[in-house]
Amino acid sequence: MTHLARLLQFSDSTLPVGAFAFSNGLESALQTGVVTDPASLREFVELAVRQAARMDGVALLHASRAMRAGDYGAIRAADAALWSRRVGEEQQMMLARMGKKLAELALKISDFPMLERWLGDIRAGATPGCFPVGQAIALAHMGADEAETFVMHQYGVASMILSAAVRLMRIDHLDTQRILFTTQQRVQEDYEAVRDLSLDEMSVFAPVFDVLVAHHTTTHVRLFMN
């Protein structure tokens, strides 16, 4: 029971790692008319979750396996691979800020030797510190298997966007919870699609999302950091 309770703590949307400051492209999607209502928001969330599975999720799975094997070099390799493939200054900023905050938070709560080493390398500029990699390290230390870790990450991606939606558009919590519930139906499918991919196969093709990310850097009115 303790294992489940701690996993729930680290999957809580109120975990103070800075997720509230990011919309993961939703702000620009609303400004450009890509998202206009609950139906188009659901499509956007599903796109973001699918993209995250094939990019962040692959790095997360490799880092989770490396953590359980005690292979710190492989953790660093997953971190570098994800960083080099996440285009856009704001996307990289999101990964790095949340990754560092997660490591700092976890080390205030308990002892995470591998996470402490990783945080030291982040501060030294030796590794970028991507959030999914930090998540994999922390959760593996707490006994989570890779499937549980993947589910928690994917839930977090959807939850972040829907939390931003409540602040950015006319939508209530009932609609966002309905979208979140629906989106979670695909997590098993996404896991099975990416679990056997190598780091070299980590990639995603979502040009609309990439354009929205680029658009956000030039807007004059912004509530979120990306």
pLDDT in tens, 77-116: 999 999 999 877 778 888 999 999 999 999 999 999 999 9
User: How many helices (DSSP H) and strands (DSSP E) are in the chain?
Assistant: 12, 0
Dihedral sign (CA 36, 224, 20, 22) = positive
Q: For residue 23, is pLDDT > 60?
A: yes
- The amino acid at residue 7 is L
CA distances from 121 to 100, 126, 140, 201, 214 (A): 10, 5, 19, 26, 29
Dihedral sign (CA 60, 192, 199, 202) = negative
Q: What one-character DSSP code corresponds to residue 225? A: -
Q: Are 169 and 30 in contact (CB under 8 A)?
A: yes
For 19-49, the DSSP string reads GGG--TTHHHHHHTTS--SHHHHHHHHHHHH
pTM of the model: 0.91
- Cα–Cα dist 178/182, whole Å: 6
CA distances from 17 to 60, 101, 104, 196, 207 (A): 17, 5, 9, 29, 28
pLDDT at position 102:
95
Torsion of CA 188, 9, 69, 148, to 10 degrees: -10
pLDDT tens for each residue of 116-175: 999 999 999 999 999 999 999 999 999 999 999 999 999 999 999 999 999 999 999 999
Q: What percent of the chain has pLDDT over 70?
A: 94
